[in-house]
Chain A
Amino acid sequence: MVNTFSETDGAILNGALEVFSRKGYVDATVNAVARSAGVNSLTVFRHFKDKENLFRAVVERHANPTLGDGRLHAAMANASPLAGLAELAHVFFETIFRNIHILRIFIMESGHFPFVREKAWFVSPVLLGHFSAYLAALPLNAGMPPAETSLLAEMFVAHVTRRALEYNKHDNIWEYSPGLAEDFDAKIRPQISCLLDAMSARRDARQNPPLNDRQATGTAPRRATAKRPARAGGKT
């Protein structure tokens, strides 16, 4: 069997990812990589020539975040905006956190290495694409210009990314865990409500352009208020 990517290579690259992320390129040593991969440092040199070449291979291999497809599809298919957005937020959070090493490397080393800059993502385009698609399909979002939907999606993905970085940087957490997901959940709920409120506000603004005689109670559209008692947003 021809396998250009041996098990040893894989172990070295995984060890190297972590060492480069924790120490930064300058302070990372091939010895530390070898220790972390459980091999001799000569083996690292034999397989990857030198530190820079090893670093390049790490970035090549880990640059693209991999999503847990099953959970992603379930979230995308969830028609309840609240539940769907919460599930998506969790899929994204887990994805970013499991890619925290490469994200740290992007932040630390993009300025020093053009090949890192080329691969780097900060607001992941993959996550952004999924999130924009989900928002665009929501009835609440009907008629929203795609450019606005992208801005909203970008804010959301940036927020989840910042949360992941904060857990890592401020609390020195390196591994994803259910406990972490629980803590994140408490933080993301108000953000999701805010997102839905923003979408409702824009929908109402589109349906009721300024300068009409809209009821003072109303975030609800005018057609609805005529027939039904005011609901959400009209607690007065």
Chain B
Amino acid sequence: MSMTSDPDGGGSKKRIEEAAVNLFADMGYARTTTSAIAKRAGVNEVTLFRIFGSKRELLREVYYQMTPDAEQVALPSLTSTTDIGDELAPLLRSYLLLHLGHMPAYRLSLQLQEELNDKEFYHHSFRKIEGMIAQFVAYLRALRANGRIAEADYSALAEYLFSLFLIKAQEYTSLGLPPDAPEIEAFIASYSRYLGELLRPIP
């Protein structure tokens, strides 16, 4: 195989995924052709097939790539002396932004629900979000172990928060808000302050 088999694999892959999710969303899955995706991404159709194999696999990959993932979130230090509300703010922001990034794929998955009828496909995103919830709960438990927050049902609290991230991401996407919109900042500020109050340790 020649050296040119993957001249810009990463860049092309990303461009194809972006083009695919936009076209699937605008035209529907069935009517979107791989040649249209390749054209929009500015790559050769052969490259598309070489990277993804088929339109179905491309869809799967796009959906998986765009699902929020715990690995993309950096947890703050456990021993910092920052106010707990201030410390949670960037964490809540990261989780919300990941959900915002997932919205195009989420909308697409609703459109294709009947057509694909693929349980594995839908459980994939569910498992990844469960992973994020588990990460957040583990972080709160560690804060608790360090005496920084009060005892509470962290799992139930995390369920509430991640429900908010999903539903608010739908709302903000529907309004076409950019990730740094004041509404989003206000949301982060009020919930991190509230969580800080709620979890303040009993002296």
Contact = CB atoms under 8 A, between A and B. Distances in A.
Interface in A130-171: 147-148, 151, 154-156, 158-159, 161-163, 165-166, 169-170
B153 A193 contact: yes
Interface residues of A, number: 46
Interface in A105-125: 106-108, 110-112, 117, 120, 122-123
Contact of A158 (B106, B111, B167, B197): B167
A162 B174 contact: no
A22 interface: yes
A193 B28 contact: no
Contacts of B26: 26, 112
Given A107-B110, A151-B190, A158-B164, A122 B170 contact: yes
B171 interface: yes
Contact of A202 (B114, B119, B164, B197): B197
Interface in B165-203: 166-168, 170-171, 173-176, 190-191, 194, 197-198, 200, 202-203
B138 interface: no
A190 B153 contact: yes
Contacts of B155: 190
Contacts of A172: 113, 117, 119
B3 interface: no
B171 A151 contact: no
Given A159-B159, A191-B160, A211-B203, A24 B111 contact: yes
Contact of B113 (A122, A166, A169, A212): A169
A161 B171 CA distance: 12
A24 B153 contact: no
Contacts of B123: 170
A10 to B, nearest CB: 24
A94 to B, nearest CB: 18
Nearest to A201: B198
B174 A110 contact: yes
A198 B152 contact: yes
Contacts of B170: 106-107, 122
B1 interface: no
B163 interface: yes
Contact of A214 (B150, B168, B203): B203
Interface in A176-225: 190-191, 193-194, 197-198, 201-202, 205, 210-212, 214, 218
B153 A161 contact: no
Nearest to B167: A158
Contacts of A106: 170, 174
B107 A107 contact: yes
B52 interface: no
A155 B163 contact: yes
Nearest to A191: B156
B27 interface: yes
B200 A191 contact: no
A35 interface: no
B28 A210 contact: no
B43 interface: no
Contact of A166 (B28, B114, B126, B156): B126
7 contacts: A24-B110, A26-B27, A27-B115, A107-B110, A107-B170, A111-B176, A159-B160
Interface of A: 22-24, 26-27, 104, 106-108, 110-112, 117, 120, 122-123, 147-148, 151, 154-156, 158-159, 161-163, 165-166, 169-170, 172, 190-191, 193-194, 197-198, 201-202, 205, 210-212, 214, 218
Given A27-B30, A110-B174, A117-B175, 5 more contacts: A26-B27, A122-B167, A162-B163, A169-B113, A197-B153
Interface of B: 26-31, 106-107, 109-111, 113-115, 117, 119, 122-123, 126, 150, 152-153, 155-157, 159-164, 166-168, 170-171, 173-176, 190-191, 194, 197-198, 200, 202-203
Which A-B residue pairs are the 10 nearest by beta carbons?
Answer: A194-B156, A110-B174, A24-B111, A159-B163, A162-B163, A122-B171, A26-B28, A158-B167, A155-B160, A27-B28
